[in-house]
């Protein structure tokens, strides 16, 4: 099934968990999508392959960036009217705290959605949503 068909299916059944079938990176890194009241939460399941610094140990900055970007993309796929995946134009990731090798959650909010470009903010946390380990803002070209 193509990504366009998957997004249509996700919207029809309000089940955005199916998107990982069209986004191989999500499966490979063990990232899942959960939906509640129109808000998607993305879950990164703890795995040693996410380790950046093995001596702390801590999550790799690239994994954190990838998780935040995934949260932004699936939320936009959910919000937008078109049925293709949005593409990142630019992203800025601020690293706020050291991430442990533990389940990490991320959520994105579309700040402004234009016809072609959307501005999105996202943050991720481990135990307490009020203590984010990193945040992202970026522009995405709508699908």
Partner 1 sequence: MPCRGSYDPPSPPRPRPRCGHHPGSGMTDHALMQQILAFRSQPENQSPHGNFLGLEIIDIDRGKGVVRIPYRAELAGNATTGVLHGGVITTVLDAACGISVICALEQRATIATLDLRIDYLKPATPGQPVTAAGHCYKVTRNICFVRALAYHLDPEDPIANCTATFMITSPQTGAARVARVSS
Residues that bind partner 1 (CB under 8 A): 2-4, 21-25, 27-29, 48-56, 58-67, 69-70, 73, 85, 87-99, 133-134
CB 122 within 8 A of CB 135: yes
Shortest distance (Å) from residue 37 CB to partner 1: 26
Q: Which is nearer to partner 1, 27 or 34 (CB)?
A: 27
Four-point Cα dihedral 107, 85, 36, 58, nearest 10: -30
- Minimum separation from the CB atom of position 127 to partner 1 (A): 16
Least distance CB 42 / partner 1 (angstroms): 12
Residue 64 tokens, joined: 């954190």
**Number of C-beta neighbours around residue 108 at 10 A:** 29
Minimum distance of partner 1 from residue 71's CB (angstroms) = 11
**Closer residue to partner 1 in complex, CB, 36/61:** 61
Please report how many Cα atoms fall inside a 13 Å half-sphere around the Cα of residue 25, on the Cβ side.
12
**DSSP-assigned states of every residue in 79-118:** HSSSSS--EEEEEEEEE-SPPPSS-EEEEEEEEEE-SSEE
Those residues whose C-beta lies under 8 Å from the C-beta of residue 65, and which sit 6 or more positions away, are 91, 93, 134, 136
- Least Å distance, CB 4 to partner 1, is 7
Instruction: Specify the residue, 96 or 110, whose C-beta has the smaller distance to partner 1.
Output: 96
The nearer residue to partner 1, 16 or 99, going by C-beta atoms, is 99
């Amino acid at each position: 099934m193509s990504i366009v068909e998957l997004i249509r299916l996700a919207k029809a059944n309000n089940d955005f968990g199916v998107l990982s079938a069209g986004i191989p990176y999500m499966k490979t890194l063990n990232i899942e999508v959960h939906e509640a009241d129109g808000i998607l939460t993305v879950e990164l399941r703890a795995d040693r392959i996410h380790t950046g610094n093995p001596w702390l140990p801590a999550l790799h900055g690239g994994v954190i960036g990838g998780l935040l970007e995934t949260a932004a993309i699936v939320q936009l796929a959910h919000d937008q009217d078109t049925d293709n995946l949005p593409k990142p134009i630019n992203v800025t990731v601020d690293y706020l705290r050291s991430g442990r090798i533990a389940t990490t959650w991320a959520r994105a909010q579309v700040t402004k959605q234009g016809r072609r470009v959307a501005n999105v903010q996202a943050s991720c946390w481990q135990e307490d949503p009020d203590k984010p380990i990193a945040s992202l803002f970026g522009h995405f070209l709508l699908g």
